Chain A
Amino acid sequence: MKMFASSARLRPLSVAPLWSRLLLIGALAMQLLWHSVQPTPQAKAEPLFAAPSGSTLRLMALGEPELLSRGLMLWLQAFDYQSGVSVTFQGLDYRHLEDWLTQILALDPLSSYPLLSASRLYAEVKDPEKQRRMIHFLHRSFLQDPPRRWRWVAHAAILAKHRLNDLPLALKLARTLSQSGIEQYDIPHWVTQMEFVILEDMGELEQAVQMVRTLLHSGQIIDANEIHFLMERLEMLERQQQQGGVQKSGEPSYMKKVEQEIMP
């Protein structure tokens, strides 16, 4: 195949005038020198602007919304890392960020990239308002597709409990999980059992006992270890109820296990 000019038909390099060879070497050297004297690129932290509407993004996708979704996530990721994680995240406008994540997720609802970024990156800032915004986003996204997105709202519940110390919010998220009907899908049982742990934390022992009893009698739990765990839990809760106080024995290890399972 005659793709390139045949080297057999090329004359030796020496036929080129000396000045043209010197020009090549000189220009190359100058290019390298010119580049080396340029300042190292420093990303300036620019404010995140508002996301365009979904229809505009669909139009921009040129029939490839999944591709645009990934591309925008990479762009958003690079945007966040303009000048370092801690500074940039705090400096981002989370209202706009939430809009961007919503639109990117709408471009490809099967992608978990925006949800992972929201729960593991953007919700890590030490700003309760911003954390709440991300939790709200995760909660809202979960309601659109519970079987696929339970993992993220479970993580949001943990964030609400441990980072925000907002037990009512954690309970709301745990209840969303347990009442969403996702138990019919192949998901771990602890997902729907988070509620009673949070109830226990809140001192709502009666409700917690009631919930564990309902779970045990529902017939959905068939794993022997899990039944054993719940029985133990029930006994402990009843004992606490009789003593009239809250003892959190065993709770941290349960939540730790949950956290590990959320992010394999």
Chain B
Amino acid sequence: MNPNLRILSAIAAATLLESRRTHFPLLMGLLTLSGLGLSLFASTLAITESATIGAMTLGGFLRLAAILAMALFVLTSQAREQQDKGMAQLLSLESPRAIYLFGKMVGYLWIHLAIVTLLTGLMLLFAAPLPALGWGISLLCEMTLISTLALLCQLSFHNVPIGFATVSAFYLLARSVTALRLVAGGPIMPDSATSVMLMSSILDGLAFLLPDLERFTRSAWLIQERAIEMTAQLPDALGFVLVQTLLYTALLAAAALLDLYRKSV
């Protein structure tokens, strides 16, 4: 085996092992149970469409929980590695620094796969098979994007609270920028107001730079009554998700690489 590939696999395996040792599976299990409880509660409150409300609540909650938990895991894991000089040791190896970054990314991808397998398996109990699988693939892409961003943030800032704030702000904005643009361009806004024009331009600019996460992992895909319609729409929806993930992950990884190469060990 190529020595670089061996190092990459070792880094990925160590990342996976770290997640187990820090009880990350337990956290995800507890979050899943909380989501189930919440969804049961929501479905009992509903007068009608209780199954749909239950599935959508569960999907929405698990999506957010998985993303935030993963972002926190990446940030804290990187911070620990920076503090105990593990990262410095790995960077001082003869292999290119890109191997370190890709190793970490592959390790995180394995964790995403484990989480998504668990959550999609659960969603299959509540939603039609194909839309539920599509939901799982989209969640995998979304987690990849966010964990790469968290990795970049921790490499750049060396500070967990700032990193988490940045990731959260990015995530919220990416999920709402389309809606914000629609509100800002709506007929209630005075066209002539400078502040409105400025805000509208800023939002348009942000939309160019941010991935459109509003089109990822939609809870609406889990509505049983719309399963046929959703299944028909799935190829287009997933096509967008996959291309967007590929592009944006490449962008974030390239930025992280530049930062990594510039570091003095």
Residues of A within 8 A of B (CB): 2-5, 9-13, 15-17, 20-21, 23-24, 26-28, 30-32, 34-36, 38, 41, 43, 52-53, 56, 74, 77-78, 81-82, 84-85
Q: Is the CB of A81 within 8 A of B188?
A: yes
Chain B residues with Cβ below 8 Å from A15 are: 261-262
Chain B residues 247-265 with CB under 8 Å of chain A are: 247-248, 250-251, 253-255, 257-258, 261-264
In the complex, chain B residues whose CB is within 8 Å of the CB of A9: 263-264
Min CB gap B159→A, angstroms: 6
The one of B157, B207, B262 in contact with A3, judged by C-beta atoms closer than 8 angstroms, is: B157
B207-A31 in contact (CB<8A): no
Q: Which residues of A contact B261 (CB under 8 A)?
A: 11, 15-17, 20
Contact call A74/B183, Cβ cutoff below 8 A: yes
Interface of B, helix, strand, loop or mixed by DSSP: helix
Min C-beta distance of A96 to chain B, whole Å? 13
Most A-side CB within 10 Å, residue of B162, B181, B211, B250: B250
Q: Is B172 an interface residue (CB 8 A)?
A: no
A12 to B258, alpha carbons, bound, how many Å?
A: 10
Which secondary structure dominates chain A's binding surface? helix
A to B contact number (C-beta, < 8 Å): 100
Cα–Cα, bound, A41→B243 (Å):
18
Q: Is the CB of A20 within 8 A of B156?
A: no
Residues of A within 8 A of B211 (CB): 31
Chain B proximity of A44: nearest CB distance (Å)? 11
Q: How many angstroms between the C-alpha atoms of A4 and B183 in the bound complex?
A: 36
**Which 8 pairs of residues, A with B, have the shortest CB-CB distance?**
A24-B254, A27-B251, A16-B261, A81-B186, A23-B254, A27-B250, A20-B257, A10-B262
> Are A10 and B263 CB-contacts (below 8 A) given A23-B254, A34-B244, A78-B179?
yes
Q: Which residue among A36, A41, A43, A74 has the maximum number of chain B CB atoms within 10 Å of its CB?
A: A41
Q: Which of B181, B207, B258 contacts A24 (CB 8 A)?
A: B258
Identify the closest chain A residue to B159 (Cβ): A3
In the bound assembly, the distance between CA atoms of A23 and B250 in angstroms comes to 7
In the complex, are the beta carbons of B208 and A56 less than 8 A apart?
A: no
Q: Report chain A residues within 8 Å CB of B159.
A: 3-4
Which residues of A lie under 8 Å from residue B96 when comparing CB positions?
A: 17
Q: B263, A20: Cβ atoms under 8 Å?
A: no
- Tell whether B3 is near chain A: CB-to-CB under 8 Å: no
